[in-house]
Structures are given as structure tokens and as C-alpha cells.
Structure 1
Amino acid sequence: MKASRTRIVGTVVVTALTLAALAGCSSAGGSDGGSDGGKPAELTFWGWAPGYADAVKAFNKTHPGIKVTYQEVQPGAKGGYQKMLNAVQAKNAP
């Protein structure tokens, strides 16, 4: 069950990063995908699993029109769920 949950979370993360990349590339503005006079689109990514920070670094290196900032959060009931819920209710979720 744990491996299945990890696979699902990994799939969600990859999908979110892919959608972020597509959103950044489809914005109006400069040819580099940025919408603010050539500045890269900026996104914040919250994660908790090992390897997320490295994945964000690799993504940033290969996508100059998008700047992803990684913020580590506590997993699940240890604080991550509440942090996400609070951000969604404040309409400020990454």
C-alpha cells in the first residue's frame, strides 16, 4: 500500500510540474515563456518526499522561462494537510 501511495503522489507531482510548465509556456509575452517583460514565470512547489528538491533544481535548469521555488512541508497529518487547507481557504495555495 505504501509503494502505491508513493507512486500516486509521484504521479501527481509530475503532473503538476508538467501543467506548470505548459502554463508558463502558453502565457502572453516574451518568446521565453515569461509574461512580465521576459522575466520567468514564478511558481512555488510544496513537497515532502526525498528527491523533490533535486527534481525542482533539474526542472529549473531545463526551463529558463519558469522559476519553481521548492518549499519542504511536513507530510500529511504532521502538518502538510493543515498548511495546504489553510492556503486553499486563504486563496493563496501554491
Structure 2
Amino acid sequence: MSNVIPPITDSQGSCWIQPASDQILVSDTDAVMSQITFECLPEYSTSIPSGVYPGKMWRAETEDGWYLRWFGIVEGNPDVCSNNQRKIQIMDWKTLTGVME
């Protein structure tokens, strides 16, 4: 589950704009996406967005580069969200679609 970004099902998510999670490949260390997907992620480098619910994604720049961050599901505790992050790797769209097929 740690590599899965859950869909947003919370009603608060109706106002949050982000790309579809199926446009991002997530491994144990990286999140691979196109430049367009990267640009569609809200940027919160110095803070965390308000409104905590599973599936909410954003990007943050650190000393080590850009990271995809998201709130995930904590099994057995529906009142708590996990904080997750992966280093972002940008891949051109043609290469990325070939990898996702």
C-alpha cells in the first residue's frame, strides 16, 4: 500500500485540483511523471496544505530536489492519514506512456 496513492473520496477534495494519480508511477523511492503532470501538482515547499484526507497530493522542493507528497491511508485507523513522499523524476510523455502500458 505504501506505493499506492488512494483516490480522493472525502468531500473536501472536491475543491482540490491535482492530476490523476494514474499519471504517476510510484516506486519505493521515486515518483515518475511527465512535465505536464508535475506542473499540475500544487506547490507547497515551505508548508503543508490544510485539509488532511487520503489521496491529496502536492509537490515540494527541498535541498535534494522536488518531491511528490501525499496523504495516505493508515490501515486500522481511519482517523489518521500517513504522510508519504517520493523523489520526483520527470520523463518525457512518449517514454512514460510506453512504460505505463
Greater share of strand: 2
| Common fold: TM-score over 0.5 | no
Greater share of helix: 1
Higher relative contact order at CA 8 Å, sep ≥6: structure 1 or structure 2? 2
If the length of structure 2 is used for normalisation, what is the TM-score? 0.28
